[in-house]
Structure 1
Amino acid sequence: MFGSKCLVALEPSNCSKLKKNPIFVGNKEFLQEPFLDRTAVVELIRNFPQNLWIVEGLEKLDLSYTAIEELPSSIEQLTKLTSLTLRYCINLVCLPRAICSLKLLNSLDLFGCLKFENLPENIGNMEGLELFNLCWTSIKEVPSSIVLLKNLKQLHIRGWNLSEFYTRSASLECYDPLQTSLFSLPTSPAPWNILLPSFLYYSLPTRLVPLGFLLPSLSGLQCLTYLRLSDCDLLSIPNDFGCLSSLAHLNLSGNNFVSLPESISQLSKLQTLLLEGCKRLQSLESIPPTIDSVIANNCTSLERFLDLQFHLFKSNHSHLNFQCLNCFKLVDNIQSISNMIQGQSVQLPRILDIIIPGGEIPKGFSPVGWCDNIQVPNCGYQFLMGIMLCFVFVLNQWRPFSRDFQLTCLFEVNGVTVRSPVRSFFKLNYAMAESPHLWLLYLPPLCGEFAIKTISDNVKVMKKGFNLVYKQHAL
């Protein structure tokens, strides 16, 4: 029982002998942030304290990792609440309609509520909502009223299945909720391979339900800057995506659509597009020229690369990154990529960074030995636009559980670094790369003689080569 008017924060974490929920009485306008997450109690919290609404000044409420089953309708009395976090509340299946009356609520986080299935139909009434996280829930559709969330800036939705929760000896807390990987594994794990803590794992449904997801129109979400709809079994992408005028980051990984809608070309602020594991995707058409990064690793049906003439040669780009690991149908594009960059009369981006399948240095590149330097001639230097480097690499097999990789290129003259290192980071969330790949790198020119070196603890570079890129009228 708490009655102090000066109480501002309450955090009963790691209280192993706590048996009952706190009872809030009196005038609690000063209590703003009670944190009840990760509290080890003899009887886990199963019901939201019915009188918590008395805490009139409550602004942030975190009930993560508790066994709460429902929220009472009296939550509507928390009129000053701005943030509600319910991560890994695995017994929570729905929210009361009354929660939608909280006009000041700007963050609602349900990540890891594995049994959560239904949103209130009036979810669109939460006009102050800016961040909505539904990753790792069992939700199958979003009410059409979501289009009324005019201030929504981030929407995260991601499906799940049992195979994700074992094979690596780590806890869920280690994972970035927006980047957690999917594994194709058997559905009957050995006890020592379970990723989840036992109290979570054995509470999961024993029968898997297809992930199919029904997506309503999102055309009214004009403030949306980050949209994640990954592993939702989407067979198509609505054409009204082009109405999301503020969208800068779009993650559609792990879905089953064959093509992107033409309207995606209207996303004039789009910078990052994630398409990892979209195994039926065949082409990267209609992508707007504003894009800085396209991650299409494990898109195994991908046949056509980006139109480089349209996307790459824009002077306002500084670093362009395109990743297509395990996209083996793109092999025929390797030479065309190199040829297209050669002989341009327009300004190229400062750094162009491409990873595609391939085991040989493309034609036109000069091989570079491990101890050899690259010599850039002074004659004709005024016509030189840049230099293209090519590295053939494979992943080190002695780190089978690694999903994060990095390639680093260094430039040295007489052992002294003469330019900032160029790094390329990539993840393989849906399948490992067992075949060689090419890292193509375009950079502004260096004059004279210099050495290129690569550094990585989980990638092995097998071959390297270079090609000087001249302006069109110099060819």
Structure 2
Amino acid sequence: MALSSQRAFTSATAVCPWKYQVFLSFRGEDTRRGFTDYLYKQLDWRGIRTFRDDPDLERGTDINPELLTAIEKSRFAIIVLSTNYASSSWCLRELTHIVQSMKEKERIFPIFYDVDPSDVRHQRGSFGAALINHEMNCGEDVEEVLGWRNALKKVANLAGWNSKDYGYDTELITKIVDALWDKVHPTFSLLDSSEILVGLNFKLKEIDLHLDTNANDVRFVGIWGMGGMGKTTLARLVYERMSHNFEGSSFLANVREVCATHGLVPLQKQLLSNILREKNIQVYDAYSGFTMIKRCLCNKKVLLILDDVDQSDQLEMLIREKDCFGLGSRIIITTRDERLLVEHGIEKVYKVMPLTQDEALYLFSRKAFKKDDLEEDYLEMSKNFINYAGGLPLALKTLGSFLYKRSRDEWKSALDKLKQAPDRKIFQTLKISYDGLEEMQKKIFLDVACFHKFADKEEVIEILDSCGFVGTRIVIHVLIEKSLLSVSNTCLSIHDLIQEMAWEIVRQESFDEPGGRSRLWLHSDIVHVLTNNTGTAAIESIVLCLCEFEVAHWNPEAFTKMCKLKLLKINNLSLSLGPKYLPNSVRFLEWSWYPSKCLPPSFQPVELAELRLQHSKIDHLWNGIKYMVKLKSIDLSYSENLIRTPDFTGTQNLERLVFKGCTNIVKIHPSIASLKRLRVLNFKNCKSIKSLPSEVELESLETFDLSGCSKVKNIPEFLGEMKNFSKLSLSFTAVEQIPSSIIPLIPSLKEIDMSGISMRDAPSALVPVKNIKPPRSWHSFFTFGLFPRNSPHPVSLVLASLKDLRFLKFLNLKDCNLCEGAIPEDIGLLSSLMTLNLDGNHFVSLPASISGLSKLISITLKNCKRLQKLPSLPSNRRIVLAVNTENCTSLKILPYAPMCNGVISIKSVNCISLVEHQGSNSIIYLMLKKSLQEIPRSRGYFNIIIPGSEIPDWFSNQSLGNSVIETLPSEFNSKWMGFAFCALFEPTYLKQHSKYYALHGLSNTFLGPMIGISVHNLASDHLWLLVLSKFSFLGSSMTHENYWMEKCGGPIQFCVGTPYGVREETFVKKCGVRILYEQDAEELNRTMKQYSNRMNSFYEDVTDCDFDKSDRVLNMVRRQI
């Protein structure tokens, strides 16, 4: 639908076949030097191509053939009927030919200039006398004169203008020109006749919303996007569609190029000339030019396009402020640089996006085959070219035109060539943005394009800062503004053709020898250079990240000549020999599986900022003291040969030390205790460490991780203030007591993990629990520690007050032997808590105040086999909330969590009492009822998995196997709200396997979101219910009617499979789906009456499940503290 309407739009905007827009017919002696001359000039100024005969043309009895051709090639005719018009046989023959040639209505426009229309119609006055005179003239053919009379009658009956209705000729001419402009405007275009307009319907609608021509204000609108995206074409179309609605208009093309060559003055002259209708405007300099623009246009309603702006002074000297133009004016700026728009205060900005796959296919077909569809024999190669273009109109047009009428062999050759070097036209167009960068910006851009595509933005900034770049963060932001980079989900991205342009720039540094280039990233180039020792001082960066582990044999001397190397990153490579030399210029060194026991003795990296040697064979880093004042991070994770840490005396600026998984490290150098800038200290799973320094002064420390250090019994006393301390992990250590210095740090902690730790001797006062007065704060709790389920001292613990942990984000109390009442009511005051792990404990219920955890996104209660009911869950969700009650075999009460605009996921695998108490259908129906109440206003979804053996009959469309087909409504504004899906899993093969399954909604033209759930260890059949709003299913695309009509209406296959496809066996017995409408709530209520006895009791349990009490408890707790 969208594509067909696009094609209609393309044909509608095609260039007209007329040579002239208007033919002027008039009596020269009456109006040539006055009215007609001024009318002609105004038509010409508005760009309306008008034919006016030569005043010196010798007139005879016959019309010149050129004149007849001009009439036939004209779209419209204006006939100025003046006093002596009929006295000229020439004019009458001209008139008759016009009437015969232009039989269609509304092509002839008469102007009754100082004559009465009735005199022309009834041929009285001067017109009657003239015609009688022609009849009396023996030289005139009587039949011809009769034709003249008929022609005059026809013209006199047409709608036109009477000069007597206007006070001044200028007023009349303005009306005439405006009316003709409205007529001729749709018939011609600024665009080339071969231009194919694809993907512009929706874009034009979006820009129209920004322009809002009905508003009586002055608006600046930006059109922003990377080069070749079609910004200029879009601006030209807007100009053509709208310019006739303004008092004046001007399209300033190629502002960047004109300014670079000739400066601003020619543009100012063009702007003034176009709008003021003056050809010889004098502008002496840019400042006087702007003054003239403001003075002359401040009261005019104008349309102005500034195309391809790249400097702020262009905006300052051409448009500057809104008060420079009259009310109703619209100024459009196209640019590759978003920052220019921001600096100029332009808030209404439209970002031009690449063409969709369908749009790209159509455009390429029109260029490569001159028809709408691809040729079958060229289908696969066409797809390769289309994928290469990445939706960039410039690339699709260029490549398609180049391939037109070429053989398959030539196509294949062209495709092979593109793999080696980009098309020259595309490269030069895109390189314009690169050429406008500063030197530092160019280097950072090339680094990102060559090494960091799809990498996390913050990590890239950290790496580039380490490489010595200054102001990396702001430079990356500038590159984003200039459309060279983009950010998607915190990761840097770059269009494939922009990246290829960057690669070509680097390749041109040394065509034949990669060793002469500044950056190496291709596997083959790196192997060539490091095997043949062809490296030079030109090399600044080498990055080799292999997807699969590989063995190689490089020259140990390969790095000898690379004296300017700053970035060296090698991953997943095994070498038989390590390097004998590494450049001292290196600032960032990452080399996983580093092959040597130590770094080269000659390596003195005074510039080194980051050292990452994961999985290395290093047994020690260096001997003695090494001064590296710029070194901020060391990561030797999983270097199992490492037996000791180095002396850190010379590296006092260290911020991050990671020795995770270094299982043989024994000795910790005491100098680690005085690293005052250290933020992260990670010894996770360093199982051989027995002791740490007794005291440390790490005032900047944020994260301290000793989890898995099973031989560590004591942790250091922390000296000094540690204002940023936020994460402490001591899980599965042998720690017996928490130092007193930890107590003041408790309020700032955001994450605590003390699971699996125990005391050697439990104080007798803790046994039994019923005789213990609960501690007043966590201070006392930390003194005694936690008791895991497998502790030799199975003592039940009562947690102390949690009120001091308002910044805590993660709380893990797994296997801590917590019984009923052990968790205090004030847990609801943990306003920052995001995840709560209570797996494997023995309580029967949870405090009602849990509903107050407004930021909670995950609560897990696996294997809490005594748990019988849950309180109400946090409401007013805007994010995900996952509840896992797997293997809670005593659970009977399960509350509903409101969706709002979030995602609710409840996993109640093997909760047999839940189903025995209520029945799976009862639970499904209740969840459906609650969901139907919310789904009209929700942009989220709800899903739950519970034991069950049969999909409810309410799901009208059911199918055996892992998929079911449903037809979505074809009307965009239909009253469907979403859909409900139910799958029946069988347990046969899932007891020994754990798999993640996702629901796919797909058709030939649409791929819906994948919504998944992990399924494993099922003791019986289970039902998976998913209720999804249409907003969540369709995303932002559903707001666009054309997209909906083309993509979404019709059959959709709902299929359960792995995220990587549906071919793998899924162990799904049956699926059911139902499209949800407003009236379904009533039908569901009727269905639920079949289960009224169970539902009533269950619903009462749920609604009475302390929903209101939770608020009362929280208020009571707040009053107490």
Q: TM-score, normalised by structure 1?
A: 0.72
Matches within 5 A, 1:124-163: 126-139=722-735, 145-146=742-743, 148-159=745-756
Cα pair 2:730 2:757 within 8 Å, conserved: no
Partner of residue 849, structure 2: 263
Deviation of the 1:142 alpha carbon: 5.4
Deviation of the 1:358 alpha carbon: 0.6
Does residue 1045 of structure 2 align to residue 438 of structure 1?
no
CA distance in 1, matches of 2:791, 2:645: 29
Deviation of the 1:324 alpha carbon: 0.8
Does residue 626 of structure 2 align to residue 52 of structure 1?
no
Matches within 5 A, 1:158-177: 158-159=755-756
Partner of residue 342, structure 1: 929
Matches within 5 A, 1:1-400: 4=604, 6=606, 8=608, 9=610, 18=619, 22-25=622-625, 27-41=627-641, 45=643, 51-64=647-660, 65-69=662-666, 71=668, 74-93=671-690, 95-99=692-696, 101-120=697-716, 126-139=722-735, 145-146=742-743, 148-159=745-756, 209=792, 217-235=801-819, 236-289=822-875, 290=877, 292-306=881-895, 308=896, 311-312=897-898, 314-317=899-902, 319-331=903-915, 332-340=918-926, 341-342=928-929, 344-347=932-935, 349=938, 350-366=940-956, 368-370=958-960, 373-374=965-966, 384-395=976-987, 397=989
Partner of residue 997, structure 2: 406
Give the secondary-structure state (helix, strand or coil) at the position aligned to 2:686: coil
Unaligned runs of 5+ residues in structure 1 are 162-206
Equivalent residue letter for 1:316: N
Give the secondary-structure state (helix, strand or coil) at the position aligned to 2:676: coil
Given the superposition, is the C-alpha separation of residues 315 and 243 from structure 1 closer, same or farther in structure 2, using an over 3 Å criterion?
closer
Partner of residue 173, structure 1: none
Deviation of the 1:68 alpha carbon: 4.0
Deviation of the 1:285 alpha carbon: 0.9
CA distance in 2, matches of 1:376, 1:294: 31
Task: Indicate the larger mover: 453-462 or 367-376.
Answer: 367-376
Give the secondary-structure state (helix, strand or coil) at the position aligned to 1:424: strand
1:343-383 deviation digits (Å, cap 9, x = unpaired): 8544454322111111111253335134874467899x966
Give the secondary-structure state (helix, strand or coil) at the position aligned to 2:813: strand
Equivalent residue letter for 1:24: G
Cα pair 1:411 1:418 within 8 Å, conserved: yes
Give the length in aligned residue pairs.
411
Partner of residue 455, structure 1: 1057
Give the structure with the higher percent helix.
Answer: 2
CA distance in 2, matches of 1:66, 1:265: 42
1:442-464 deviation digits (Å, cap 9, x = unpaired): 12369765443322436311122
Deviation of the 1:438 alpha carbon: 0.2
Given the superposition, is the C-alpha separation of residues 106 and 376 from structure 1 closer, same or farther in structure 2, using an over 3 Å criterion?
closer
Given the superposition, is the C-alpha separation of residues 119 and 218 from structure 1 closer, same or farther in structure 2, using an over 3 Å criterion?
farther
CA distance in 2, matches of 1:151, 1:345: 41
Deviation of the 1:159 alpha carbon: 2.5
Cα pair 1:383 1:474 within 8 Å, conserved: no
1:286-309 deviation digits (Å, cap 9, x = unpaired): 421136221222222211111x2x
- Asked which structure has the greater CA Rg, the reply is 2
Equivalent residue letter for 2:1021: P
Give the secondary-structure state (helix, strand or coil) at the position aligned to 1:442: strand
1:50-101 deviation digits (Å, cap 9, x = unpaired): x4344322222223314345656653311111111102111335544523x3
Partner of residue 24, structure 2: none
Deviation of the 1:279 alpha carbon: 2.2
Partner of residue 182, structure 1: none
Given the superposition, is the C-alpha separation of residues 243 and 96 from structure 1 closer, same or farther in structure 2, using an over 3 Å criterion?
farther
Deviation of the 1:321 alpha carbon: 1.2
CA distance in 2, matches of 1:367, 1:210: 56
Given the superposition, is the C-alpha separation of residues 86 and 213 from structure 1 closer, same or farther in structure 2, using an over 3 Å criterion?
farther
Given the superposition, is the C-alpha separation of residues 419 and 210 from structure 1 closer, same or farther in structure 2, using an over 3 Å criterion?
farther
Cα pair 1:322 1:354 within 8 Å, conserved: yes
Cα pair 1:33 1:59 within 8 Å, conserved: yes
Cα pair 2:982 2:1024 within 8 Å, conserved: yes
Give the secondary-structure state (helix, strand or coil) at the position aligned to 1:230: coil
Task: Indicate the larger mover: 288-297 or 264-273.
Answer: 288-297
Deviation of the 1:440 alpha carbon: 0.6
| Higher relative contact order (Cα pairs below 8 Å, separated by 6+ residues) | 1
Partner of residue 183, structure 1: none
CA distance in 1, matches of 2:920, 2:850: 26
Given the superposition, is the C-alpha separation of residues 26 and 440 from structure 1 closer, same or farther in structure 2, using an over 3 Å criterion?
closer
Give the secondary-structure state (helix, strand or coil) at the position aligned to 1:84: strand
CA distance in 2, matches of 1:253, 1:93: 29
Cα pair 2:628 2:651 within 8 Å, conserved: yes
Cα pair 2:635 2:659 within 8 Å, conserved: yes
Cα pair 1:342 1:470 within 8 Å, conserved: no
CA distance in 1, matches of 2:991, 2:721: 47
Unaligned runs of 5+ residues in structure 2 are 1-600, 759-789, 1031-1047, 1059-1063, 1084-1121
Cα pair 2:981 2:1074 within 8 Å, conserved: yes
Cα pair 1:124 1:148 within 8 Å, conserved: no
Given the superposition, is the C-alpha separation of residues 263 and 123 from structure 1 closer, same or farther in structure 2, using an over 3 Å criterion?
farther
CA distance in 2, matches of 1:216, 1:116: 26
Identity of aligned residues (%): 31
CA distance in 2, matches of 1:94, 1:438: 51
CA distance in 2, matches of 1:35, 1:353: 41
Cα pair 1:126 1:149 within 8 Å, conserved: no
CA distance in 2, matches of 1:441, 1:148: 44
Given the superposition, is the C-alpha separation of residues 79 and 147 from structure 1 closer, same or farther in structure 2, using an over 3 Å criterion?
closer
Cα pair 2:809 2:833 within 8 Å, conserved: yes
Equivalent residue letter for 1:453: C
